[in-house]
Each structure stands twice: as C-alpha cells, then as structure tokens.
C-alpha cells in the first residue's frame, strides 16, 4: 500500500482537493445538493432504460429480448419516478445512502487496520468511524430529515474522504 500511495501522490493530492471542494459545496447548499444528486440518478436510470430498451430490439435473435426489454422498462420507470417525484426519490436515495455508509465505514476501518504501519493511517480509521456515525444519523432522522440530510451528509463524507487522501499523500 505504501508504494501505491508514493507512486500516486499527485493523484491523491488532486483527488483530495476536488473532494473537499465538492463536499464544501454540498454542505453549503444541502437541499440543492440533495435534489441534484436525486436528479442525476433519475437521468441515469431513464437514459439507461432507453438504451436497454433500444438494445433489446437489436437482440431479437438472441432469445433474451423480452428480459432485456423488461429490464429497460424497469430502469426507465425508476428514472421517470425519480424525475417526477424528487422528494420521494431523495428519501429512497437517503435510505440507500445509510446502507452505503454502513458498509463503507466497515470497509474503511478494515483498510485502516491494514494501513497501520503507515504514517497517518489513523485518518482512514477516523473516516471509517465517521461513515458509521453518519449512517447512524441517517437512520435516526429518517424520514423526517430527507430533504436536506442527503446533501449535507454526502458533503461531510466527501470532505472527510478528501482530507484522508491529503493526509495519506503527505505521509512518508
């Protein structure tokens, strides 16, 4: 791991700075960040649905056309629902984010234990613990705080990840 960090020091520095800036923006405007994240997911699902539906008609000879068509319709429907009902989409994404932060926290803590001989390894541990705390905050406040918590917590998580990258890049 030490070799990887040394070889990619500039990447760690640049990535850390970008994540800190994105996180600061999300923290400053949490409702806007929440709705933006939700809209991006809505468009991703809708476009994926259209592409999958179009591909299913090109795959008529494979015998899997119906399943691809059904999958594409499902993607498109989810995308349309996210775009048509943004607050409900934010609630859904917030719930998924709680699950993600739970797993992310566990993984970061496990990685921190492996990084222990490296200077500043504790930043990874702190980041993992923070991910678990964030997931707990989401679980505790859900669903009453869904309008703003998604953007705020993603912003906090981005900033912590950015600081972690900066600290690891500065290790020797």
Query: For the chain, what is the radius of gyration of the CA atoms?
Result: 19
Q: What is the mean pLDDT of residues 136-145?
A: 84
Nearest CA among 103, 80, 84, 89 for reference residue 34: 89
**What was the pLDDT predicted at 64?**
67
Q: Per-residue pLDDT tens for 3-47?
A: 766 777 888 889 999 999 999 999 999 999 999 989 999 999 999
Domain limits, the chain:
2-169
Query: Residue 154 pLDDT more than 70?
Result: yes
pTM of the model: 0.66
Kindly tell me if the per-residue pLDDT of 169 is higher than 70: yes
Please tell me the predicted confidence (pLDDT) of residue 62: 61
Indicate left, alpha or beta for 63 from its phi (over 0: left) and psi (-120 to 50: alpha).
Answer: left
Residue 63 confidence class, pLDDT cut points 50, 70, 90: low
Cα separation of 7 and 4, whole Å?
A: 5
Longest CA–CA separation in the chain, Å? 58
pLDDT above 80 for 92: yes
Taking the C-alpha atoms of residue 42 and residue 124, their distance in angstroms, rounded to an integer, is: 32
CB-based contact 162:20 (threshold 8 Å): yes
Angle (nearest 5°) at CA 69 between 64 and 73: 155
Average pLDDT for 56-69: 75
Whether pLDDT at 144 is above 90: no
Report whether 26 contacts 143 (CB < 8 A): no
**Rounded CA gap, 147 and 34, in Å?**
7
**Residue 172 in this model has a pLDDT that exceeds 60:** yes
């Amino acid at each position: 791991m030490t070799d990887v960090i040394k070889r990619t020091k500039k990447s760690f520095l640049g990535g850390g700075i970008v994540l800190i800036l994105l996180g600061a923006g999300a923290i400053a405007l949490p409702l806007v960040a929440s709705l933006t994240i939700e809209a991006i997911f809505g468009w991703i699902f809708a476009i994926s649905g259209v592409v999958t539906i179009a591909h299913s008609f090109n795959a008529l000879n494979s015998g899997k056309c119906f399943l691809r068509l059904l999958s594409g319709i499902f993607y498109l429907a989810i995308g349309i629902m996210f775009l048509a009902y943004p607050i409900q989409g934010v609630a859904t994404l917030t719930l998924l984010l709680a699950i993600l932060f739970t797993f992310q926290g566990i993984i970061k803590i496990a990685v921190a234990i492996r990084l222990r001989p490296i200077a500043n390894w504790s930043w990874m541990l702190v980041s993992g613990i923070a991910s678990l705390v964030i997931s707990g905050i989401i679980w505790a406040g859900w669903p009453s705080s869904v309008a703003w918590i998604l953007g705020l917590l993603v912003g906090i998580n981005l900033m912590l990840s950015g600081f972690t990258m900066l600290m690891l890049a500065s290790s020797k």
